[in-house]
Structure 1
Amino acid sequence: MMRGRLIYNPMAGRFPSQPLVERAAKILRANGWDVELLRTQGGPDLTKLAKRAARDHLDAVFIAGGDGSIHRAVAGLLGSDTSLAVLPSGTANVWAQELGLPTLSWTNWIALEQSVKRILNGHIHVMDVGICQDVPFLLWSGAGFDAFVVHHLEPRTRWQKQFPATQYAANVAWFARNWSGMDLNIRVDGENMEGTFILALVTNIHLYAGGMAEISPSAVLDDGRMDLWLFSGDSMLETLQHLFDLASGKHIDSEKTTQISCQEIRIQSKSDLYLQLDGEPVPPSNDIQITIEPLALKVMVPDNLPKPLFMRNPL
């Protein structure tokens, strides 16, 4: 019998999740899983619960939550034999979107049940994880404008989360009026470069900005590399142009955008830089170091992914 824990934060996301999580747990048990349902308040407690599951050699941890909850769980499961699975009930659910899983909404109250069924019929892959300032991240590490927005938006109330895409777009446009560029010295896989940038983003996946933009169309999750995107500029107009280009996919061909596939990055500045990991605010720093931990996390994914995400065969 497969053993797992289903961890949920009743205060996370846009909807009360406990009754929906209990229904998902019933499906797991009906499919032969011995699963324990655990409630968390998020943050470090969620990491501790994930780490305990790995120490107990469980087969999987199911996280009913969003990208912030996933971020916390990764820190507890990194390098273990316990797989991570998501039942999307957060705000943006970008990792779930990457996997093509249905997300909880006003028009789909059975999304968690649909997701758990698809995951159980899927496969286990092993993927790379980024490490920034000794903290693991699954999706992105961003320094600059996006982190500035995250630091000023989080935490949000449940009411504020009801219209995540609209609110995010409005706040981004509002914050852009006061944003100027960052003078950065960057070392990428031993090569030095410098310039003035709106944003420096390291991404492990295709999607970005709440899933509204596909930033890295060719991203592969198990190739031992991530994409560094540099958006140059120092004005409000350039910031808004980059946002428009991202939304329309034109950033790929922009002369003011640089993409580098890499393994090690160091970003330095004379002043502290706003920093975010997986959409969560983390303490600013003027010396940011990012590395890749290849094949460090087992993940449960459904069949029929929206795009090819892995180059290696499933376990």
Structure 2
Amino acid sequence: MPMEKRKAWLLYNPMAGRFPAGPFLGRAERALKSAGWDVSTVEGRDEQGLVRSAEQAVWEGCEAVFVAGGDGSVGQVAATLAGTETALGVLPAGTANVWAQELGLPRLDWIHWFALEQAAIQLARGDIRLVDIGEVNGRAFLLWAGVGLDAHIVNSIEPRERWEKAFAIVHYATLALWTSIGWEGVHLRAESQGQVWEGRFLAAVACNIPAYAGGLMNLAPGAKVDDGLLDFWLIGGQSLRDVLVRVAQIFMGTHVDAPGVVHFRASEARFEAQGELPMQCDGEPIQMASPLHFRIRKKALRVLVPADAGPHLFSISSEIELEA
């Protein structure tokens, strides 16, 4: 008796990444079908299109939604699938692809032409894990959300033209240096678990994963996506010199114990500042009015991961509890 096909949609964002991933989707789709998935490919050019398609996939009872796009597309679909029985699978076709990097998936770039097919093969026979979703003032995020210098940069450069994405690291670094000149930080009051921190910070970030800044930095070592906690980092400083020192500290891993850097883990926290704040959620630019209320939705999202997904990202219990 033939095995029943597993139903899935493959959502494609043609605007993501350094070059169009469309020509490579056929191989990824065939890889999924050969592994027993019944796949339908749907294009979504903006956030609304991706969200509508993900909602429709849930309504039609899909076991999984595969997203061929970047971290912004992944975050938008993750927010839609949270709390449902439909799992998220990522075919990394964006600029940075930090979530895919954390999972150890190959990423589409100039020298890895078949990365989407290889990622599809790994996920098609992988595991389903339960992971946490963060929220800030009701807006969900999978990776991180924050205010400060990085949020100002993201709000300055997004949305980008495709040619700009081809020089993403240089473009980001140039804008970071330019924005840092005269930067005085953001005056912020943070509260959590009965404690209060107040001062000027270069950045204040809630992390759900270790990697940050396009995967270039390991800001939150020890962060797990399924521990029911967010890792909060308040990076003190108010000048270009402070920016350069903090970047060096994070690259070397010495920021963990550096004076002026606050780190705490919590399921909830509150940030207060003056007026409306430029923010980034999963690398997407947004504006939010203070106060900012962060909270975690514990194990709210099902994700497809490679069978050998590293223990640095997951606690031991998440897969076991799903199977129980």
Same fold (TM over 0.5): yes
1:146 equivalent in alignment to 2:114: no
Query: What letter matches 2:183 in structure 1?
Result: W
SS at 1:58 equivalent:
coil
1:266 equivalent in alignment to 2:265: no
Gaps of 5+ in 2: none
Partner of residue 285, structure 1: 289
* Residues 143-182 of structure 1: CA deviation (Å, up to 9, x unaligned): 1111001000101110000122222222212211131122
1:135 equivalent in alignment to 2:135: no
Partner of residue 225, structure 2: 221
Residue 306 of structure 1: how far off its partner (Å): 4.2
Partner of residue 253, structure 2: 249
Query: What letter matches 2:40 in structure 1?
Result: E
Partner of residue 96, structure 2: 92
Gaps of 5+ in 1: none
Judge conservation of contact 1:50–1:76 (CA < 8 Å) in 2.
yes
Partner of residue 114, structure 1: 118
Judge conservation of contact 1:208–1:214 (CA < 8 Å) in 2.
yes
SS at 2:19 equivalent:
coil
* Residues 52-109 of structure 1: CA deviation (Å, up to 9, x unaligned): 2112221000000010100110121010000000000000100110111110111110
**TM-score, normalised on structure 2?**
0.94
Judge conservation of contact 2:79–2:142 (CA < 8 Å) in 1.
no
SS at 1:270 equivalent:
coil
What count of residue pairs does the alignment treat as equivalent? Answer: 315
Question: Of residues 101, 105, 108 in structure 2, which corresponds to 1:101?
Answer: 105
Distance (whole Å) between structure 2 residues aligned to residue 162 and residue 99 of structure 1: 23
Partner of residue 184, structure 1: 188
Question: Of residues 183, 193, 199 in structure 1, which corresponds to 2:197?
Answer: 193
Judge conservation of contact 1:49–1:76 (CA < 8 Å) in 2.
no
SS at 1:160 equivalent:
helix
* Residues 96-131 of structure 1: CA deviation (Å, up to 9, x unaligned): 101111101111100000101111232100000001
SS at 1:159 equivalent:
helix
Distance (whole Å) between structure 1 residues aligned to residue 242 and residue 214 of structure 2: 21
Q: Percent identity?
A: 40
SS at 1:174 equivalent:
helix
Question: Of residues 168, 175, 190 in structure 2, which corresponds to 1:171?
Answer: 175
Judge conservation of contact 1:275–1:285 (CA < 8 Å) in 2.
no
Judge conservation of contact 2:276–2:287 (CA < 8 Å) in 1.
no
Query: What letter matches 1:5 in structure 2?
Result: W
The worse-fitting range, judged by mean Cα deviation, of 108-117 and 297-306 is 297-306
**TM-score, normalised on structure 1?**
0.97
Distance (whole Å) between structure 1 residues aligned to residue 134 and residue 307 of structure 2: 25
Distance (whole Å) between structure 1 residues aligned to residue 170 and residue 106 of structure 2: 20
Partner of residue 125, structure 1: 129
